[in-house]
Each structure stands twice: as C-alpha cells, then as structure tokens.
Amino acid sequence: MTSEITGRTPLFVLDPPPEPPAAPERWRFHPGEVLAAVGLGAAVVGAWPVLLMLRSGLPLEPFVMIAHVCGMLAGYGVIVLLTLMSRAPALEHGVGADVLTRWHSRGGRIVVLLVLAHGYAAVAAWASAHRESVMLALRDVLGFPGLVTATVGTLFLVAVGGVSIRAVRRRLPYEVWHSVHLLTYVGLALGFSHQLAGPDLAGHRVLQVLWALLYTQAFALLLVHRVITPLRQASRHHLRVSRVREEGPGVISIEVEGDHLHELQAEAGHFFRWRFLTTQNWLTAHPFSLSAPPSAHALRLTVKSLGTGSASLQGIQVGTRVLAEGPYGAMTAARRTRLDVLLVAGGVGITPMRALLETMPLAPGRRLTLLYRARTLDDVLFRTELEDIAWRRGATIRYLLGHDPDCLSAQRLARLVPGLAGHDVYLCGPPRMAQAARRGLLGAGLPTRQLHEERFAF
C-alpha cells in the first residue's frame, strides 16, 4: 500500500521560513583519490626490494622474493590501515565511515596474510639456502635480533584477525572484541624494530627515517582525532541531555544542548559517536545520526531499542553529561550532483533523511521526494514533522506500507519516481530493506555514482 503526501505552496505566508544556509566547504578526499594513492604507494614499496635484489646481482630466488616483497607490503599496509581508521575529517567526510571500515576490514585480512606469507617464505628460504629442515631453520631465524618480539607481535595480529571473523565477531560482546582489537597496537610496537632492521631498510638511513616518519604520522592522526579532539570538544562544548521525547514504541529522541556548537560544522546527514556518562553507558560510544538539522545550541539524535546498548539509552535522564565525537559521515548535501533528489528510508533509517529533507538545497521547480518504508502508518516516525516540512518546501512524501516484497522493485520505483535516473538518491535503512532498495534503484537505471548511502551493518 502506498500513501502519499504532496507538498503544496500556501496562498500566503506572513513569515516564510528561510532556506538553510549553504553547508561550509570542507577539504575532502574522494574514494578514487584514496585508492589511487594507496595503489601507487603499494607499487613503489613492493618494487623497492625487487630493485635491491636486481642491483645486487644475486639470483631471484622465489622464496626470498616473496619474503622481501610481502614484508615491505605488510609494513606499508599497516600504515594505510592506521590512517583509514584515524577518523581524520578529510577521509570521514569524503569517503565515509562505512566505506573506510570495510576497507579497513579487507585490508586487515590482507595484511595478516602478507605477514604470514613473509614469515613462512623467510623460513623456507633459509632452510633451502642452508639445506636444513624447516624446524631448524625456524630456530635459526628466531635467533636474529628482534625476531622473537616480531613473532609475538605477529601472534597478536593473528588473534585480532581471528576475533574479527564475522562468525566469531557476532558471538562476542563489543567490549570483548574492542579490548582484543587493542592488541593490534602492541603487535605493531613489537614488530617495528624488525622492520627498520630488515635487509630492505637496513643501511639506507634516509629510507629508515622516512619509514619511521610515515608511522609517526599515522599514529599522530590517531592521537589527534581519536583522543585529543574528543577531549577538546568535551571541554569546549559541555554537552548535556536537555530533553527526551518518545517518538514511538521503543523509540526516543534525545536533544543535547551545549556551547559553541556551530564550531563543529555539523550538517544534516552527519552522525556522531555518542558517549552518555552514566554508570551503564560511559564505556561505549554509540553511532547515531542527527535526526534534525543542527543548531548553534542543540543537536538531536533518535534511538530505537535494537540491542543492549540502544535499549540502555531508553531511560536516559535529562541533565546527563555527554561526550560526542564527530561529526562523521559523507551522506550530506555535498555529495549531490543532480538538481532532483530522492530520499529513501526504512524504519529508524529515517533519522538522517528527516534532517536532509529539511535542509537539502532545492531550486525552484525541482523535485524533492521521500520514500519511507514502514509496516504501518503508526510505525512512521516524525510523521507530523515530515508532512510539515513537505508542505513548506513543496516536497513529496510517499509512505510504502505493509509487507509487499515488490514495493522497492525497479518497476515500482520507476513508476513512483518519474525520471529516477536523473536524481541523486540518498538511502538509509535496515540491511535487508537497503539491499532491496539498492537492487531496485540500480535496476531502474540509476547510475551507481548517484546513489549515496552509509551502511552500518558491518
């Protein structure tokens, strides 16, 4: 069933609400730029040990080659992984937190495989050169300076990789997974001296300094954006819960007030990692999108009880102090490339769409449409707010209600949104709904570059 609300221009308005100001310009890296830079760096790093071996005049033994190339690429991969998860604004706002996390996950598996391949090939090369068994070769190799600590560091990385396997991750509490993940930093520290003392960098003082500076830069980004900036924001903005409002069964909106919030440069479509300083919640930061345009004095988030963490926030009290890291995310008006815009939401995924509906710049005569998937009209969040915004802005809302599995099919979407391929589409919803919408949108001819979404079901 489809229910439609179409915005209409009133006969007269005594004091029309102004269009929101243009979003501030930010320095952003685009995904293609990041991938190109990472690929170029990998090519240079991987070619260096090959060049050294060619210059030495020694035969290119396969195991020796694998050990050297994999070792250098593993060390470089660690720098990339640290940078991707540093929460640097240029990456967060340009690439998007969900894409960065997926890249980090895939890259982490590649780095672990490279480290294991490096270790195995190094031992095999020694065994072949000295005509020893693999066990004797392993004993000899571990006798070199820094190899024991590097091996322990490798075991830590393997442990982190093990708990990050999807089947294992789902069975572990977040706090346990996060604690084990911190072993990554211990493993990197244990193996760093081996990198500098390895044959590909030893004796090349300039390269050793440059390599150390790359690691220093990566850790500096982590320290600045994951520790110093959140602490500075906490001392500057003094966030606290000012209002809690029930939106529906198991759904509440939390309004957070603070000082100098304009300095955050938050936009509709952004999310923060919220840490509510209560006995039950202070250890965990929850990622929630802004459900209303930010102001100079208040931010609003909306929480649905979907798990232990979100359920514990249902009873949050006014006056609770809050730490908010952000803003993060790339699903903002800055991604827009077309004049017409379609917003597609499902369930509590309406939160960033409600903010975008109110603030998305709209030229006269252009179309702004919201498709909202919900089971029943009673499950529609912010209904009054949405319809008021649509009336003021001349937008169209279509509620897709019921259990019809084909309501997001390509044919249905093409009928609901004429000229769909000429729209920018913003999508947010539960994984199944988002997958169906993505399949329908692309099947209806929407170019991939015009689909903007952030997936938080990693």
pLDDT tens profile 90-111: 898 888 888 898 899 899 999 9
Report yes or no: 382 and 301 within 8 Å, Cβ to Cβ: no
Taking all residues of the chain, what is their mean pLDDT, rounded to a whole number?
86
The pLDDT of 281-297, averaged and rounded, is 88
The pLDDT of 246-271, averaged and rounded, is 92
Give the whole-angstrom CA distance, residue 151 versus residue 158: 11
Question: From residue 126, how far is each of 48, 123, 205 by CA, in Å?
Answer: 21, 5, 26
Phi, psi of 81 (to 5 degrees): -60, -45
Strand 340-346: give its sheet, edge to edge.
2-6, 396-401, 368-374, 340-346, 423-428, 451-453
The pLDDT of 372-398, averaged and rounded, is 92
- pTM to 2 decimal places: 0.80
Encode pLDDT of 182-218 as tens digits.
888 888 888 888 888 888 898 889 999 999 999 999 9
Q: Which of 17-26, 116-125, 160-169 has the lowest mean pLDDT?
A: 17-26
Encode pLDDT of 8-42 as tens digits.
433 223 333 344 444 455 667 888 899 999 999 99
Encode pLDDT of 296-332 as tens digits.
999 999 998 776 667 778 888 999 999 999 899 888 9
